[in-house]
Amino acid sequence: MGPGSIVLGITAFAMMLGGILFTLVPVLGSVLSFGAPAVSLAGLIVGGIGYSQARREMESAGAPVAGMVLSGVAFLMSFAFALVCGTCNAFVTAVGTSSDLSPFLQVDTGSMPMPAPLPPPSSGAVPVAPAPPPLPPPPRAPGLPPAAGSSGLPPAPAPSGLPSAATTP
Amino acid sequence: MHPILTVLEVGDVVRPIGTYGVLIALGIVLCTVLTARAAARAREDVGAAVASVGFVVAGGLAGAFLLNVIVEGFATGDPLYGVRESPGLVFYGGPIGGFVAGALTARPLGVPFLKLADLMVPALPAAHAVGRLGCFFGGCCYGARYDGPLSVVYANHPFVAPLARHPAPLYEAALLLLLAFALALTPVRRAGSGARLGLYATGYAIIRALTETVRGDAVRGVWFGGAVSTSQLLSVGVFAFGVVLLRRAARAGDAAGAARAAAP
């Protein structure tokens, strides 16, 4: 029981460090951050049982005591970090899994599935998402030439000397 | 208010360390150390006591989380709202969950639960007082508006107006420390009768019901048009539980006294 307690205490430390480093990776950061205090509590319990057994059987209680102290310190630190890094990661996870947020908010969410990015305008590829309906052209002062592409379509070259379609009454 | 205790920098990784979390964790570790010491002084199995504290803490954290889920579920009508949208901890779930976990694991650990609880109980309000300091520094559980002596202003709180308020967490911390001293000074002539646990339950129920009247945060849940808070409702049940334990201990004391008187 004593060595098991030490292993659990060290595991809790490792998970805590993982939680700190992977705060911005959805789900993984939460699992590590909130799992570390749970593992350290398990180390405390196992260490206590080991200490009890060692005293009953008149054996050395060094390992269980070491495990209990290690797990206690690991709990102290990992709980404090869980309330910072774990909470932060829960927020990051919520942002990453929410479908009604802008893709720009989901860009930094690591390995979460994200909507396919829109291609750059110059690539000529067809976007995955349907294009929104074109906006109506803004009112213009009479006599001005039509704005290029204002109807959402490529501008058609107007024959010289003829009025464009937009200005035809 | 001092929500960030320090900032940890490891290479490019920068993480703030919250005062709230550090003080809550310190309170739990303090509770473990005091319980182990009390168990050693009472010549009880220290290892089993530490293991039992581990189960009690785990059950307490689970209970505090579950009670938050239940309260949020009642308030919003969505049973999973407290998991998805508003996860958190409600203190009263802690002792309830801890008590259940301790009672369930006492027999496998081979410890008399009520005796251990009587030994552990002075550590609970002491640890809770440290946790309340964490609330004060973190800016939660703030008090109602009040412009008299001892009032405080949360100058840089992100949600609370910078007005003079009751230092509600400090009131509770002071009263909890008094309760801890009172429990520590209560003689344990019949440890295991549940007398100290009963005193703690009744004492804390009164403290909580009183300090709730100076709280200013409605997020903890208020009922009947704001007349009663969730914790005040729970205090009634905890007080009744404490009275039951005290009466049981008194009856056990009477029986023990009668047995001593009848003995030749």
* Nearest CA-CA distance, residue B87 and chain A, Å: 10
DSSP three-state, residue B158: coil
Residue A169 has a pLDDT of: 35
Ramachandran class of A161: left when φ > 0, alpha when ψ lies in -120 to 50, beta otherwise? left
Q: Over 60: is that where the pLDDT of A132 sits?
A: no
Span B124-164, pLDDT tens digits: 899 889 888 888 888 888 888 999 899 999 887 777 788 89
List of chain A residues whose C-beta atoms are within 8 Å of the C-beta of residue B110: 52
Q: Which residue has the higher pLDDT, B233 or B224?
A: B233
Q: What is the mean pLDDT of residues A4-12?
A: 85
Q: What is the mean pLDDT of residues B232-242?
A: 92
Read off the amino acid at residue A89.
N
Distance CA A116, CA A98 (A): 15
Phi, psi for residue B16 in degrees, rounded to 5: -75, 145
- Confirm whether pTM is higher than 0.90: no
- Residue entry with tokens 């003079």: B164
Closest CB from A21, A68, A80 relative to B17: A80
DSSP β-bridge partners for residue B4: B18
* Two structure tokens written together for A82: 């869980």
Percent of chain A scoring above 90 in pLDDT: 5
Is B71 exposed, middle or buried (CB count within 10 Å of its CB: 0-12, 13-18, 19+)? Answer: buried
Mutate which: B5, B7, B15, B137, vs A, most A CBs within 10 A? B15
Does B108 contact chain A (CB < 8 Å)?
no
* Nearest CA-CA distance, residue A53 and chain B, Å: 8
Does B21 contact chain A (CB < 8 Å)?
yes
> Which residue of chain A is at minimal alpha-carbon distance from B50?
A48
* Nearest CA-CA distance, residue B101 and chain A, Å: 13
User: What is the enclosing helix (H) or strand (E) of B153?
Assistant: strand B152-153
Q: Are the CB atoms for A159 and A152 separated by under 8 Å?
A: no
Span A38-64, pLDDT tens digits: 999 999 999 999 998 888 888 888 888
Span B186-198, pLDDT tens digits: 876 666 778 888 9
Q: What DSSP assignment string belongs to B50-83?
A: HHHHHHHHHHHHHHHHHHHHHHHHHHHS-TTHHH
Span A60-88, pLDDT tens digits: 888 888 988 988 898 888 888 887 766 66
pLDDT averaged over chain A?
65
Q: Which residue has the higher pLDDT, A27 or B241?
A: B241
Q: How many CA atoms lie within 13 A of B17 on its CB side?
A: 17
Span B14-71, pLDDT tens digits: 777 888 888 888 888 888 888 888 888 888 888 888 899 899 999 998 998 898 888 8
User: What is the enclosing helix (H) or strand (E) of B152?
Assistant: strand B152-153
List of chain A residues whose C-beta atoms are within 8 Å of the C-beta of residue B8: 20
Residue A158 has a pLDDT of: 41
Distance CA A154, CA A9 (A): 67
> Which residue of chain A is at minimal alpha-carbon distance from B32?
A72
Cβ neighbours of residue A139 under 8 Å, at least 6 residues apart?
none
Span B201-221, pLDDT tens digits: 999 999 999 999 998 876 666
Distances (CA, A) of B126 to B132, B174, B197: 10, 10, 14
CB contact under 8 A, B51 and A64: no
CB contact under 8 A, A51 and B18: no
* Two structure tokens written together for B52: 């039992």
Distances (CA, A) of B34 to B49, B135, B180, B264: 11, 22, 11, 40
Q: Shortest CA distance to A44 belongs to which of B183, B192, B142, B32?
A: B32
Q: Which residue has the higher pLDDT, A17 or A157?
A: A17
